[in-house]
Amino acid sequence: MSKTIGKCICLAFGKELIAPCDAEVVLAVDGIKDNTPGELNPVYVPGNTVVLKTINNEFLFFAHFKQNSIVVKQGQKVKKGELIGLCGNSGNSSEAHLHFHIQNVEDINKATGAKCYFDEIIVNGKLKNDYSPVKSDKIENK
């Protein structure tokens, strides 16, 4: 699903976001309005957010979900591949995209980030193994 606003076609808007592994939902924030592309909302920087805690005590931080699209709740256990919500443009975001990172504690203000690797992932149309995405990569599930 794409959304056209003016001359901007947002290819990521409304795309399904799935759990990359089995985990527990430790934070789910929903209800923040999506921005018009090019406009920012600095009041709650991550916008609609999900944080998952893995069995390795890593915290997976997902931000900028579409308003009212998060389908998981705090305390819920999720399985790898399970839908967690839809890509949006909420928070301090100028266009629809997913912000994803791994951190060592739940609180983003106290956390240290860690590099993440995917067993298999399609990057810019090509299958990659044991890959860590970099800025501007267009990634999708295998």
Q: What is the CATH number of the domain that holds 45?
A: 2.70.70.10
Instruction: State the Cα–Cα distance between residues 79 and 57, nearest whole angstrom.
Output: 16
Examine the domain organization and report whether 94 and 130 are in the same domain: no
Whether 83 and 122 share a structural domain: no
pLDDT, residue 33, reads 94
Looking at the chain, the whole-number percentage of residues with pLDDT higher than 70 is 93
Q: Are residues 123 and 62 in the same domain?
A: no
Domain that holds residue 98: 3-111
Residues 86 and 139 in one domain: no
Lowest mean pLDDT among 23-27, 43-47, 67-71: 43-47
Q: How many domains does the chain have?
A: 2
Q: Are residues 10 and 56 in the same domain?
A: yes
Placement of tokens 């860690």 in the chain:
114
Distances (CA, A) of 78 to 20, 24, 25, 28, 43: 10, 6, 7, 13, 29
| Sign of the CA dihedral running 93, 95, 100, 101 | negative
Question: In sequence order, what are the beta bridge partners of 10?
Answer: 3
Name 113's bridge partners: 103
Q: What pLDDT is stored for residue 29 in this prediction? A: 96
Whether the pLDDT of residue 82 is over 90: the answer is yes
Residue scoring higher pLDDT (97 or 7): 97
Q: How confident is the model at residue 7 (pLDDT cuts 50, 70, 90)?
A: very low
* Contact present, 86 and 105 (Cβ < 8 Å): no
